[in-house]
Structure 1
Amino acid sequence: RALGAQHLVNIEVEVIIDDEVSDRRMRRTGLRQIVWDNWVCSVNGERLFLKGANLLPSAEGLANASPEQIRADVDSAVQLGLDALRVHGHIANRETYDAADEAGILLLQDFPLQWGHARSIRAQAVAQARAAVDSFGHHPSIALWNGHNDPAARALATTQAGWRTRARSIAGNQLPSWNKSVLDRWVKRSFEKADSSRHTVAHSGVGPHLPQLNGTDSHLTFGWQKGEAVDLARFASRFPRMVRFVSEFGTDSAPTSAPFIDEQLRSHEWPDLDWERLVAKHGYEQSIFERLFPPADCDDYESWRDITQYYQAHVLKVQIETLRRLKYRPSGGFCFSSLADPAPSISSSVLDHDRVPKAAFEAVRAACEPVLVIADQPATWVYPHDKLKMNVHLVNDLREGLEFAVVDVVASWTNGEQRWRFGGSVEGDDVVKVGRVEFEVPESLGPLTFDFQMTAGEVSSSNQYSTTVAPPL
């Protein structure tokens, strides 16, 4: 999509017997070359840093989704400034592939294997992998086949988990298993035999392990199952191989359209809802929500919903900016979790089941602008006379460079402000550090904001970071 218009052609094949057409098939396709090098994707020789999302079915049943609904989801990806969608854990409706072909959205196609499976499915899985290529291989939007999502089916090793849970998590990734070591190799080989033109990975979400020390893409949960959003940057500096392509990250939030909550509030008082039903029917991760946003701390559903949505927007902004700062060094891109819900859910989507945007929708759109000025995220709380240092980077996804970009920074607090100006050039499809904000926190308590404004001719970008000055400890 970032490289121009999509040139699609119709190819028609006829079988003629005795001068009569016995059979005819027509397929629409496009001619392009896609190459993957250490999780960096190139299309027709041009590198692309892929900005993407996980795509779930457009409706609870694939057959229940109308062509208009499907195309609206692809259009939402375009509106967000995305280049790719990971078709998560399913084969989508044909309209999805047609819409992606037309929009220039690359698809990272999961084979519908998730978590653990019995040995008896191998033959059927191999046959269905071939059938997937036969049915959808003519679509130029498909850039990659993935044989299996999360085959280790590991226990979630959160910061609150015991040592046994963490040990099972490590063992599930490192030790050989039927799914990861046998089944996935067979499925990968089937894809490669049927389609040698595309890159195939055996599985998604499996870290480096013997003998496959290269690993695959990563599923990371900083700010949700463990740690904080800013921990991704520290993790990337220690384990750069693990952020080459992050195909799942983000947090859950409560939806704006919530008929299942309205139904409960007719017979229950907030916060004494039937939370077990929400866990069973609507994906509510009770232990994590209770730790991060206890419902009892909020006066009503609306205030609780807003807190969860604000936090989701914050985490996605921080982590998308982190990955973009690491563009090609070493990151080839990302797919956040997720674009839209197929059914009423408390989930990681940025569009609920009625396609009402959550707060994170606008945060993602802003974080995916082709030209973006970014800085290091300040701590949530700072104290008078702390010394802050914020590196300032310019990200340019355009094909052409910015000859001279000027970045103006304003720090604002109660009854005061301080200004900085930086400048520099950035090549096309590159990231550069243009300066560092060094700042002593004032004694005035309360909000402290940093506003960034970049201009380079007719191109501009703005960003803002906030923290709070707290009383000295």
Structure 2
Amino acid sequence: MDLGTEAAWTVRAVGGLDAVPDALLERLRDDGVPATVPGCVHTDLLAQGLIPDPYLDLNEAAVQWIGHVDWEYRGVVDLDEPAPDVHSDLVCDGLDTVATVHVNGALVARTQNMHRGYRFDVAEHLHAGSNTVAVRFDSAVTYTERACEEHGYLPQGYEHPYSFIRKMACNFGWDWGPTLVTAGIWRGIRLHRWRRARLEELQVRTDVDGATGLVHVRAGVVGRAGFLDGLTVWVEVAGRRHRVEPAAGAIDCTIPVDDARLWWPAGYGAQHLEDVTVTLADEDGVVERHHRRVGFRTVELDTGPDAFGRAFTVKVNGRPIFVKGANWIPDDCFVSGITREQYAERIAQARAANLNLLRVWGGGLYEDDAFYELCDEQGLLVWQDFLFACAGYPETEPFRTEIAAEARQAVRRLGSHPSVALWNGSNENLLGWYDWGWPEQVDDRGWGEWYYTRLLPAIVTELAPTTPYIPSSPFSSTPDVHPNHPGDGPVHLWDVWNALDHTRYRDDIPRFVAEYGFQAPPTWPTLTDAVHDEPLTPRSPGMLAHQKQIGGPDKLDRNLRGHVPEPTTMAAWHLATSLNQAHALRLAIEHFRSWWPRCAGSIVWQLNDCWPVTSWSLIDGAGRVKPAWHAVRAAYADRLLTIQPREAGLSLVLVNDTDLPWRQDVRVRLVTLDGDVRRESVVPVQADARATRTVTLEPDLVAPNRRRQEVLVADAGDLRSVWRFVPDDAVLLPAPRYRPTVTAAADAIEVTVTAETFLSDLVLLAEQADPRAVVDTGLVSLLPGESHTFRVSGFAGAAPDRFAAVLHTSNELFHAAS
């Protein structure tokens, strides 16, 4: 029975009442207010109109009191009298976080971990008729502060000592997220009534032996005395049924599948999935049934030494994969409200941007099953962090026991998914030890290393032995090598955003980049729906409340220098910073990919946002793509043409991430911004399958007469790369002139733009004409006389000509007056 839907729930304040606003105290303290389960206090109070929307304007500050209050959720449900041989378990899939559970006034359990589920035998506490389930949540803020005081301080990145509680770390604020400390029954809660026997700790995982797929099934079988007599387990795989006899209260079997079809990541093959059904049965029929979808694949991590240091290359089914990834954070601050449809939209956007991997970052969650199922279906590999990020973590009890139980449950639940390709012990915690002064702050106390180097790898080895594990990101293979060394393991590149120009991404050739990124504001409708400052400026109060990085506004402005003139209006600033994010990521990805296989992966920070904020995301908090999404999509395409600086001179690099050779005549022109061709050459190039090919260009071809007025343009079919000989802001971009033609159809609007001058970074910001509209392409460079057609879909009600009015280019930033 789903108690979320079958019980009538309320929530009320039961402790820390001094923090409750006087106007709300009586209502929240006494009978409380209606509640939704799954849910959290913030969304329940918001639904009742008792708090302002925390995502808007300065409202985040106005709801901080919620995290300092103790709350009780109370559900009332009518039950029939069970038969004498029926067990009754209360199953809680997610309690956030420090919870005390009562059933009809009897204490059932105390829990303190958001990241795991629980099962409690409650048969003796239930009766026919009305029953009450009450879950009290103590203030997570108070709990962490008390635990930190009792244990002693450990290094933390933010105000609250979030590492002293097993709760989503970014709930306490991050440099892209608000401080909204939640409480509530955040995942399902149900009453499970069962007879005779049930399975527990069921795990289904796969392996491959030659052409044979192997399905491993393990579970405990629990029940009354003598329950195994006459009990049978059936395992159905790929349409074939196998009988398994439980022994000693457990099942542990391996089912072979001949000529198994392999599961491949996107771009490398099909995502074949097989159904696995585990059925517990007796002479009366089905006792219990579970279903999984699995895929047969192997994953290896090549970290062997080579001429450049040590590799860090993911191999799937024996084939090296260039990882085209992005980091994933929780898609909403109030995670109980994330739906399967929301996951599907975001994952579809990731695939449309040519990604083949999402890294689930360690300050967030083990996501809902739907996330991993959709990644299985779409061919997105998952790099899964264990939930440790940017802090020292206590190694004392009860943390050790809690973390072990949490990790075992996570690996069992997620290990059946073919998409889950790598487990990572922590985010930046080894880096913190090396670079952030942790040894002096920690002294001789444990700070989490035991988890990353001993506990977690042991659990992965036991429960997911065919999936690679690393202790942290960044990470190097030996302790004597700095964890962020570009020649060994995954690196995080934050010096560029924080202190350097984005052209400095080319300074190193890392083996793998697990984090790097550039900020930009959300799209215009997302921004103006959330921030209503008058006037709205880059540093108006609401804008600053939606910029969480210390010094972020200054970094945004500094990173424009050398690329565009200082913007003088809010609209110009918004366009400039949005395009600059796109430029930076495109440059970085093209550089990394041009060095394949030496560099074997790029994971952009970050794919998504949890609220409307200025951040490093490609998709803003309302689910709208930024211009940077288009840049990443082009840079991650299966075939990439790019002009790159090399020791021998400017060079063409063809990156071929397909299974077919790429033979291409590349047209290379030295062109004035007026469209006159100074020099031209056709360069025949062949890139082998899954390989790069670099060709040094003739010196005469890359020697401009007027460096500020000429560009190098390389074309290969519909692919184009443009090289500027001077810094961006030194290019004498002409005032933009073009002719738009709008054609309306039933399901789309086409806007064809014909350039009359050189156009740089032509974009159609469709969401500014209709907040629901989506455009298919962006960031187009056109020479005079060339045309490009944008296709707009998803709109409703906007006049077709309105879309011609939201065309923009980099050119206009240099000609603001016109």
TM-score by length of 1: 0.83
Residue 334 (structure 1) aligns with? 602
Residue 109 (str. 1) matches residue 387 (str. 2): no
Distance in 2 (alpha carbons) for counterparts of 1:394 and 1:140: 31
Which residue matches 2:572? Answer: 303
> Counterpart amino acid of 2:640?
L
Shift of 1:221: 2.1
Q: CA deviation at 1:203?
A: 0.9
Read off the aligned partner of 2:667 and give its amino acid letter: D
| Matches for 1:222-237 after TM superposition, within 5 Å | 222-236=495-509
Q: Distance in 2 between matches of 1:246 and 1:268?
A: 40
C-alpha distance in 2, partners of 1:326/1:180? 35
Note the C-alpha offset of 1:152. 4.2
Deviations 1:215-271 (A, max 9, x none): 5411112531132323233222xxxxxx22211111111111465656655444635
User: Alpha-carbon deviations, 1:69-107, whole Å to 9, x = none?
Assistant: 110111111111111111122211221111111111111
AA in 2 matched with 1:449 = V
Distance in 2 (alpha carbons) for counterparts of 1:270 and 1:232: 30
Equivalents in 1 of 2:708, 2:687: separation in Å? 36
For the 8 Å contact 1:54–1:337, the answer to whether it is kept is: yes
Match of 2:413 in 1: 135
- Letter paired with 1:230: T
Q: Residues 399 and 177 (structure 1 numbering): CA distance in 2 closer, same or farther, change over 3 Å?
A: farther
Match of 2:348 in 1: 75
Give 1:211 deviation, angstroms: 4.4
Cα pair distance change 1:153/1:372, threshold 3 Å:
closer
Over 3 Å counting, the alpha-carbon distance change for 1:181 and 1:468 in structure 2 is: same
Report what 1:59 is aligned to.
332
Select 1:429's aligned residue among 651, 666, 690: 690
Contact residue 656 and residue 687 of structure 2 kept, 8 A = yes
Matched ranges for 1:310-459 at <5 A: 310-329=579-598, 331-376=599-644, 389-402=649-662, 404-414=663-673, 416-439=677-700, 441-444=703-706, 446-455=708-717
Note the 1:80-229 alignment, pairs <5 A: 80-89=353-362, 90-116=365-391, 117-120=393-396, 121-152=399-430, 154=432, 168=436, 178-179=446-447, 181-185=449-453, 186-207=455-476, 210-211=479-480, 216-229=489-502
Question: Which runs of 5 or more residues in structure 1 are unaligned?
Answer: 156-165, 237-242, 379-386
What is the SS of the residue equivalent to 2:699? strand
Q: CA deviation at 1:53?
A: 0.8
Q: Partner of 2:537 in structure 1? A: 270
- Assess, with a 3 A threshold, how the Cα gap between structure 1 residues 393 and 192 changes in structure 2: closer, same or farther: same
Paired residue secondary structure (1:122): helix
Counterpart position of 2:273: 8
- Work out the CA distance in 1 between the residues paired with 2:424 and 2:403: 13
Whole-Å separation in 1 of the counterparts to 2:421 and 2:515 = 18
Change (3 A) 1:171 1:462: farther
- Partner SS, residue 514 of structure 2: strand
Which blocks of at least 5 consecutive residues in structure 2 are unaligned? 1-265, 304-311, 732-818
Number of residues paired by the alignment? 439
Q: In the aligned structure 1, how far is the partner of 2:521 from the partner of 2:579?
A: 10
Which of the numbers 559, 566, 590 marks the counterpart of 1:292?
559
Q: How far has the Cα of 1:37 moved from its partner?
A: 0.8
Secondary structure class of the residue paired with 1:224: helix
User: How far, CA to CA, are the matches of 2:316 and 2:538 in structure 1?
Assistant: 51
How far, CA to CA, are the matches of 2:548 and 2:444 in structure 1?
A: 34
* Identity among equivalent pairs (%): 24
Residue 383 of structure 1 corresponds to: none
Shift in alpha-carbon separation, 1:285–1:261, aligned structure 2, 3 A:
farther
Deviates more, 1:205-214 or 1:49-58: 205-214
Query: Structure 1: how far apart are the matches of 2:293 and 2:622?
Result: 31
* Mean CA deviation greater in 93-102 or 116-125: 116-125
Q: Does the residue aligned with 2:587 lie in a helix, a strand or coil?
A: helix
CA-to-aligned-CA distance 1:151-196 (integer Å, 9 cap, x gap): 14749xxxxxxxxxx9647989xx9984463231122322222210
Counterparts of 1:151 and 1:91 in 2: how far apart (Å)? 19
After TM superposition, give the deviation of residue 57 of structure 1 in Å: 1.9
The CA deviation at 1:281 is: 5.8
CA displacement 1:99-123 (0-9 Å, x = unmatched): 1111111111111111112233333
CA distance, structure 2, for counterparts of residue 189 and residue 212 of structure 1: 23
Structure 2 CA distance for partners of 1:171 and 1:210, relative to 1, 3 Å: farther
Alpha-carbon contact 2:657-2:689 (below 8 Å) kept: yes
- The alpha-carbon deviation at position 278 of structure 1 amounts to 2.1
| Contact 1:422-1:435 at 8 Å conserved across structures | no
Cα offset, 1:445, TM superposition: 6.2
Question: CA offsets, 1:406-438, max 9 Å, x none?
Answer: 111111125552112222322111111133242
Shift of 1:52: 0.8
Partner of 2:200: none
Say whether residues 1:463 and 2:721 are aligned partners: yes
Counterpart contact for 2:520–2:615, Cα < 8 Å: yes
Report which of the two structures shows the higher radius of gyration computed on alpha carbons: 2
Distance 1:269 1:393 in 2: 43
| Aligned AA (1:119) | E
Cα distance in 2 for partners of 1:257, 1:205 equals: 34
The structure-2 alpha-carbon separation of the partners of 1:392 and 1:291, relative to structure 1 and needing over 3 Å to count, comes to same
Structure 1: distance between partners of 2:596 and 2:570 = 39
Conserved 8 A contact 2:649-2:696 = no
Separation of aligned partners in 1, 2:548 and 2:435? 30
Q: Which residue of 2 aligns with 1:163?
A: none
Structure 1 or 2: more helix by fraction: 1
> Residue type of the partner of 2:277?
E
Asked if the contact 2:297–2:317 (Cα under 8 Å) also holds between the matched residues in 1, the reply is yes
Paired residue type of 2:369: R
Aligned to 2:314: 41
**Which residue identity is paired with 2:706?**
S
The DSSP-based 3-state class of the residue aligned with 1:316 is helix
Q: Compute the displacement of 1:343 (Å).
A: 0.8
AA aligned opposite 1:33: T
Q: Do the aligned partners of 2:427 and 2:473 also contact (CA within 8 Å) in 1?
A: yes
Distance 1:400 1:231 in 2: 33
Distance in structure 2 (CA, Å) of the matches to 1:118 and 1:180: 6
Query: Secondary structure of 2:624's match?
Result: coil
CA 262–268 in structure 1, closer or farther in 2 if over 3 Å, else same: farther
Give 1:126's aligned amino acid.
A
On the 8 A contact 1:230/1:377 being kept in 2, the answer is: no
* 1:332 CA displacement: 1.5
> Does the CA-based 8 Å contact 1:222-1:231 persist in structure 2?
no
Distance in 2 (CA, whole Å) between partners of 1:260 and 1:341 is 13
- Call closer, same or farther: CA 1:462–1:263 in 2, change over 3 Å: closer
Q: Which amino acid aligns with 1:451?
A: V
CA distance in 2 between partners of 1:70 and 1:280 (Å) = 25
The 2-side partners of 1:111 and 1:311 are apart by 33
Q: Scaled by the length of structure 2, what TM-score is found?
A: 0.50
Does structure 2 retain, via aligned residues, the 8 Å contact 1:257–1:354?
A: no
- Partner residue of 1:21? 286
